[in-house]
Amino acid sequence: MKYDLSEINNIIENRRTIYPELFSSRKVHKEQIDRLLMNATWAPSHGMTQPWRFKVFMNDGLKKLSKYQSELYQTIIAEDDFNEMKFEKLINRPILSSAVVAICMQRQKSKKIPEIEEIEAVACAVQNILLTATAYGLAVHWSSGWPTYRSETKQFLNIQSADRCLGFLYIGYPADEWPSGQRKPIEYVTDWINE
Ligand SMILES: Cc1cc2nc3c(=O)[nH]c(=O)nc-3n(C[C@H](O)[C@H](O)[C@H](O)COP(=O)(O)O)c2cc1C
């Protein structure tokens, strides 16, 4: 065995979504965020396009994100569709976090690589972030909720129209016990073809 497999198995199995409402006030350091992003960049990408781009909100940047998404929601959503709980989350979740990373995909200029593969590469990069965060004992919530896919968000994040925002990673320390998870056994998700 080249590496300690039990360690990586534990990290993979214990990676959990933990929401900002369950974060403690303990702050995550910039150096930890640097490491998450460095590990992200070791993901595979077809043609080595390395399409991942990150926009990191920390300190007063978190207030800027909170203001952006809550004000846009207030402006755009019709009165009948306005959801107070959603609005409160848009305000509060960035403030409850130590950092929020907007996950972006930069579209290749030549568009030779299919877009889906560029998105897949970014998802691999995100998994590296999630696993590294788990190793640090950090809580992360990947949100692809409002306003991820809005064109205004591309402007806010300063990305091109061919690029994509794939969500926001809310990062902090968990306040309580680490949650457990459950998965279908591999028999449910696998066909073996032997002949
Ligand atoms: C691409 C992607 C987008 C997601 N978006 C959301 C989201 O908008 N809201 C949410 O509550 N969870 C979101 N999640 C997290 C999933 O709900 C979560 O991973 C799933 O419930 C399994 O829980 P676990 O991460 O603890 O194993 C997202 C996950 C992925 C991979």
27-72, pLDDT tens digit by residue? 999 999 999 999 999 999 999 999 999 999 999 999 999 999 999 9
- 145: pLDDT confidence band, cut at 50, 70 and 90? very high
Global pTM reads: 0.98
Q: How far apart are CA 31 and CA 20, in angstroms?
A: 20
Q: How far apart are CA 130 and CA 128, in angstroms?
A: 5
CA-closest residue to ligand 1 atom 31: 142
CA-closest residue to ligand 1 atom 11: 143
Mutate to test the pocket of ligand 1, among 17, 90, 146 (most ligand atoms within 8 A of CB): 17
pLDDT tens for 162-192 read 999 999 999 999 999 999 999 999 999 999 9
- Position 103 scores a pLDDT of 99
- Position 72 scores a pLDDT of 98
CA-closest residue to ligand 1 atom 18: 17
pLDDT tens for 97-106 read 999 999 999 9
Between the CA of 114 and the centroid of ligand 1 the distance, in Å, is 25
Q: Write out residues with Cβ below 6 Å of ligand 1.
A: 16-17, 142-145, 167, 181
Mutate to test the pocket of ligand 1, among 12, 19, 144, 178 (most ligand atoms within 8 A of CB): 144
CATH of domain 18-176: 3.40.109.10
Q: How far apart are CA 49 and CA 193, in angstroms?
A: 33
Q: How far apart are CA 116 and CA 54, in angstroms?
A: 18
C-beta atoms surrounding 84 within 10 Å: 7
Q: Which amino acid is at 152?
A: E
Please, which residues bridge with residue 174 across strands?
23
Between the CA of 127 and the centroid of ligand 1 the distance, in Å, is 12
Average pLDDT, stretch 107-116? 97
